[in-house]
Structure 1
Amino acid sequence: MKTEIYGFDAFSPGEVADRIENIGLVKARLPMISLLMLGLLAGGFIALGAMYSTIIFSDHAISFGISRLLGGFVFSLGLLLVVVAGAELFTGNNLLVMAWADGKISMFEVFRNWSIVFIANFLGAFSVALLVFFSNHASMNNNGVSEQYLIIAQSKCNLSFSHAFFSGMLCNVLVCLAVWMCQAGRSIIDKVVVIVFPVSAFVAATSCPGILHHLPMEKTI
């Protein structure tokens, strides 16, 4: 399908599908060092969003609904940085199955990308957790932020397998929808608008990169 270069209208669903497949082809064939570096960045970006949202959640004077709305809003910073900077995020890269389904890449290339990116995301999130710890960020709000890190990490660790699995699946669906809709936009503003709402919706779900930030924080505090 031929895609227009200039214009103000959003790309059609068919054009978005083509764009996702072509991007998947490029991602699947990136050199290992590029995947590692971009994966590290993505893990760090998501950790920054998780750090930002933890500040909101630490203020217990805010009602449950408002805190979740604001927390999800600021958490979207992470995915915005990933999309605009072009980093490699495991959850967003689940869309590589589009290129695989169309026969453009092999299943080996899909799993190669996922495995490298997942490990790099963990290392990136862990690195930011160390930076946050040594910056004494957790002492904010009279140590309320550190208490919130403990609450979040412990609640995630206490999830049953089925709860964690299906909650994580819901998170992946929303992240993939956000990334998909980003490809329909033509400007940075378009991408910001379409990312915020899906990300705000999955604060009740289990974000894998987000957990990779909260768990190390729980151990370092």
Structure 2
Amino acid sequence: MTGSDKHDAYKPAEIAVLVETAGVNKAALPVAQMFVLALLAGAFIGFGAAAYTMTMTGVDTGFGPSRVLGGAVFSLGLILVIVGGAELFTGNALMVMATVEGKISLGALLRNWGIVYLGNLVGAAGLAIVFGYSGLLAGPMGSTASAIAEAKAQIPILEAFVRGALCNALVCLAVWLTFAARTAGGKILAILWPITGFVLLGLEHSVANMFFFPQGWMAGAQVSVNAALINLFFVTLGNIVGGAGGVALAYRFAYLGPAHR
């Protein structure tokens, strides 16, 4: 499928078909390959989160223009996932389009989500542990890492859920926009502003938190495992609602389905 010119961006209706096809391909990945790609994605998001942590060291992590820079730096994670090729749980919320269209079963969707979520967790947490042994968390970066983890653990449940939903709406929109681009440069630009926006606004990304909590623990953060798990649970639910419901189903209604056949 092509646009009016081979250099034009794909149109939204064309993107919908591309996303649907990508969902089918993702569901068909062998388990081992899916897990390795998920592990890489967790580490990639972790690199973005670590870079964000260093960027916010020495400034107010809660407010101000510094968060714009922090968001731009955090975009590194999704850039590595999309351009490098990896399986990210939050972006895979878009697979719901293929499920609703009957191209993949609900079981295949849940299989992908489960394996990818676990792989993301291992990759992100594993990288956080490595950073703990790098010496970087012994100084000012460690203080920032602790503050980030402690602040996330204090977010009320409802707020964590809503921030998760809003976050993954922007993440899935970023992924959606990358399908419009035909070049790596175009994909990077498509990622930059939605991801910068969600970080600037203080929204919650489950895979990023898989890195932020262990990183905080390695830096001495006073956060219980239970508090971290509660945050991760409700942020994950919010991510599913915002990505699968807020973006995938909306675009499926707009561009796919019986009315468009």
Instruction: Specify if TM > 0.5.
Output: yes
Aligned ranges 1:9-48 → 2 under 5 Å: 9-48=8-47
The 1-side partners of 2:135 and 2:173 are apart by 35
Identity %: 41
Aligned ranges 1:177-192 → 2 under 5 Å: 177-192=173-188
Aligned ranges 1:68-147 → 2 under 5 Å: 68-139=67-138, 143-147=139-143
Is the alpha carbon distance of 1:115 and 1:62 closer, same or farther for their aligned partners in structure 2, counting shifts above 3 Å? closer
Alignment gaps of 5+ in structure 1: none
Alignment gaps of 5+ in structure 2: 220-261
Amino acid of the structure 1 residue aligned with 2:141: V
- Alignment match of 1:151 (pick from 143, 147, 161): 147
Query: 2:163 maps to what in 1?
Result: 167
The 2-side partners of 1:155 and 1:113 are apart by 31
Quote the offset at 1:59 in angstroms: 2.0
- Alignment match of 2:209 (pick from 184, 196, 211): 211
Aligned length: 217
- Please report the TM-score for the alignment, with normalisation by the length of structure 1: 0.94
> CA deviation digits over 1:172-217, x for unaligned, max 9?
1111000000000010111111101000011110111111101111
The 2-side partners of 1:189 and 1:82 are apart by 14
> CA deviation digits over 1:54-75, x for unaligned, max 9?
1111122799322110000000
Amino acid of the structure 1 residue aligned with 2:167: C
The 2-side partners of 1:72 and 1:164 are apart by 19
> CA deviation digits over 1:8-34, x for unaligned, max 9?
110000110000000000001111101
Amino acid of the structure 2 residue aligned with 1:87: A
- Please report the TM-score for the alignment, with normalisation by the length of structure 2: 0.80
For the aligned residue pairs, the C-alpha RMSD in angstroms reads 1.6
Amino acid of the structure 2 residue aligned with 1:57: M
Quote the offset at 1:5 in angstroms: 10
Q: Secondary structure at the match of 1:173?
A: helix
Q: Secondary structure at the match of 2:193?
A: helix
Amino acid of the structure 1 residue aligned with 2:110: F
The 2-side partners of 1:66 and 1:196 are apart by 16
Query: 2:255 maps to what in 1?
Result: none
> CA deviation digits over 1:118-152, x for unaligned, max 9?
0110000011111111111223xxx2211111111
The 1-side partners of 2:154 and 2:58 are apart by 23
Whether contact under 8 Å (2:145, 2:215) holds in the other structure is yes
Query: 2:246 maps to what in 1?
Result: none
